[in-house]
Structures are given as C-alpha cells and as structure tokens.
Structure 1
C-alpha cells in the first residue's frame, strides 16, 4: 500500500505539471520581447541575456532560437519595438525644427524607461522595419525644412548618437545611485570640489562653477538638441 500511495502522488505531480504546461501561452517573438523589456526595466540592460529570458519564460534557451536568432537579434527587436511607439508627424516646412526636437524627446523618454537599453541602439544597424520607419520620418522632416540630403543623413546619425549617449549616461548614474557604497557627483558635491580648487591653477573653473554645474531635468539635453537642430538651417 505505501508503494501505491507514492506512485499515486507521483502521478498527481506529473498530471499537475502537464496541466500547468498546457496552460502556458505559446512562445512567440512578442512574448520574448516583452519579457526582455520587463527584465531591463527591473534590473537594467546588463542583466539581459538569452538564458535569463528563457528562465523567466520557464523554458530552455534553445526554445528561444526558434523565434530569435541570437542576442544581437533580440537587441534589434527591442529597439524596433521602442521605435514603434514613436509618433511621427506629417513633415511641416514651417515647424520642422520643433518636429525633430519632439521626436528626439520621444526617443529619449522611451529609452529612459529601460535603463541602459540605448546600448542596444548603439550596437545595431537600424535595419528593423520600425527603426527604418523612424529614420525615414526624420529624413522627411529635415528635407522638408530645406536641409541638404547629405547634411540631413549625417544629422540623423549625429542626433541619434547624442540621444543614445545621453540616455546611457543617465542610466549609469542611476545605477550608481542604486549601488550600495556607490559614489555619484551630485550638484552640491561638484560645487564644493570646484570651490575648493586653487584659483591660480583653475581660475575659470572656480569662477564659473555655478554655470558648469547648472541645469535641472533635461535642460542639458534640450540645449544640445536645439543647438544641433538650429545649425541645420538653409
């Protein structure tokens, strides 16, 4: 009898596992991408691996490769998904500068939702359909504003690089803030260090410490983007 009860318990466990397995939604690119984004949102881009995604989905890494070629392919899918959230306006020759600035701000805000994900944007060529849709839209706005084609093409690259770098920097700072024992140069810390400098060795840094450390929110981002965009006129 004891043996029979053990067998029954094992059978019930197997039946329970089979029932749970049958209730799991089928694996798809969409589920993989959303799971990857959830991991990045919670732990940062550095935590994202194919093995980690597979474990979160309660499957083996080999199962993912039926839908995603490799980690680089997953990175491109993530950037493509974020690009799909960007709202493109109809190019307007009168407001093209504001349109480009708004697109840059949209991209920035999408990347900042997922700490470090701009690393993926830096590491992939924009061949994803959604990334190409965004690039096409930006090109159309710049051309409508009278920007020469070659200048417009390089401007898209330069603007994208700045957005990626800006988001990556903020992500690194946020990561330091969350790390026990981490040190981050806050405004007050920097001001104190600049004010303590020798006026003989660093006269300008000491004199303009307030200007060097000024800015709140995305003030520096706004300044850099508008400076670049304003330089693209006819």
Structure 2
C-alpha cells in the first residue's frame, strides 16, 4: 500500500508563459500585500486576480492551487530574514542576529505564523537560511545530529516566544481593549498574590512592547548560554 505522493511547487520547473502577462514575482508580491492586509482568510485566487487586473485562471498558469501559492509567499518570508556569514561574525552573534530577524519578520507578516510547520520549507530562501544555520552550529563545535538538535532548539525558542505574541497582537487589534481597564481587571484577579501584584504595577509595563523585546532577548541569551554550556561538557 502506497501513501500519497509528496508534491511541492519547488520540485518542478517553473512554467514560462508564452504571452505577456504577470510574472511569478509580481504575483507573489501582490499575494503578500493581500495577506498583510487581510490575513490567510482574505487570500483567494479571485481577489488576487482582481488586484493584479488579471483573471484567476492566469494565476493558475504559475501555481496549481492555493497551497502552491502559499509555498511561494512562505519562501519570500524566509528571504526577508537576515543573518551574517557565521565564519565572519562568529556563531553566537550569527544566531542572535537570525533569531531577532526571524521574530521581526514573523511579526511583520503575522499570517506566516500559521504556515510554520504546515508547509514544506523547500524554497531557495528557506534552504539558504537552513544551510547557514547548519554552518553556524558546526562552527560552534556541534557534530552529527547535534547540529540539527541545536537548530531546532533555536527555532523552537523563536517560534514559542513569537507565535503567542502574534496571537496577542491580533486579539488586541481586533477587540481594541482599553489598557487601563485591562490593568484594573488583571489587578483584581491577582489581588491575593503580592508578587504578581507588584509586577503589574511596575512602570516598565507602560511600554509592553519594550518588555516583550527585553524578555525575548533574555530568553535568547539563556538558550545560547545553554547550548554553549552543552558544548563545554
């Protein structure tokens, strides 16, 4: 008994149109603009065709279905992530730069959080990031499968911190909660826990975005310290 055949837009040669029309790059850029404005639920071949002043059928020349289109935009997201060459910057600075860039890109394109792990990352941009990450951890001293484990540890940390932030930002934008009223409600909820109450009243929380960025960096440094400690032992 055989399973379903694995397919990806990246595993076949891109089609070349015989007549003047929209390029694949233009289609991908328009799709990203739609996704940024309306999210995954707002993307359809019909809407994309209207945005491009072209019929949906012309888009199907480049992609067989919506998932293939999402593969293309997903790889474009990977292409926005920046990191220096590990051999020039050293493994820790490279890892830190990648992690911060990865978080920034996901926050810039919040819909991409729903594609992580759902679509294969087989595009040229994603593979380039993966290759550079592997070189980074080999440079650090990891060997064999530990290179993969270190990479998955780093990305799991970034995803684990960033995806809830995406969800929170979405909820805040959708419901427009009043910050003062929210603080009042949370204060009431934790009134019997002095330490938590003290934290809520800290002036630093006047800038929650700054707190999230400091928390991300604190955790990232801790993860890198842990990986470095593992190498030492």
Shift of the alpha carbon at 1:180?
4.3
CA distance in 2, matches of 1:41, 1:174: 14
Where in structure 2 are there 5+ consecutive unaligned residues?
1-19
Does the 8 Å CA contact 1:143/1:152 hold for their aligned counterparts? Answer: yes
Question: How has the CA–CA distance of structure 1 residues 175 and 229 changed in structure 2, closer, same or farther, with 3 Å as cutoff?
Answer: same
Deviations 1:106-143 (A, max 9, x none): 12112211222221233122211110100000110111
Question: How has the CA–CA distance of structure 1 residues 65 and 163 changed in structure 2, closer, same or farther, with 3 Å as cutoff?
Answer: farther
Once the two structures are overlaid, the 10-residue window that deviates more, 155-164 or 126-135, is: 155-164
User: SS in structure 2 opposite 1:232?
Assistant: helix
Residue number in structure 2 paired with 1:95:
90
TM-score (norm 2): 0.73
Let me know the Cα RMSD of the aligned residues: 3.0
Task: Find the structure with the greater CA-based Rg.
Answer: 1
TM-score (norm 1): 0.73
Question: How has the CA–CA distance of structure 1 residues 93 and 64 changed in structure 2, closer, same or farther, with 3 Å as cutoff?
Answer: closer
CA distance in 2, matches of 1:224, 1:39: 33
Q: 1:225 aligns with which of 193, 205, 220?
A: 220
Question: How has the CA–CA distance of structure 1 residues 188 and 80 changed in structure 2, closer, same or farther, with 3 Å as cutoff?
Answer: same
Matched length:
203
Residue number in structure 2 paired with 1:207:
195
CA distance in 1, matches of 2:143, 2:214: 29
CA distance in 1, matches of 2:155, 2:65: 24
Shift of the alpha carbon at 1:161?
3.2
Where in structure 1 are there 5+ consecutive unaligned residues?
1-24
Question: How has the CA–CA distance of structure 1 residues 62 and 102 changed in structure 2, closer, same or farther, with 3 Å as cutoff?
Answer: same
Matches within 5 A, 1:69-88: 69-88=64-83
Residue number in structure 2 paired with 1:147:
142
Matches within 5 A, 1:1-234: 26-92=21-87, 95-180=90-175, 188-189=183-184, 191-196=186-191, 198=192, 206-210=194-198, 216-233=211-228, 234=231
User: SS in structure 2 opposite 1:176?
Assistant: helix
Shift of the alpha carbon at 1:190?
6.7
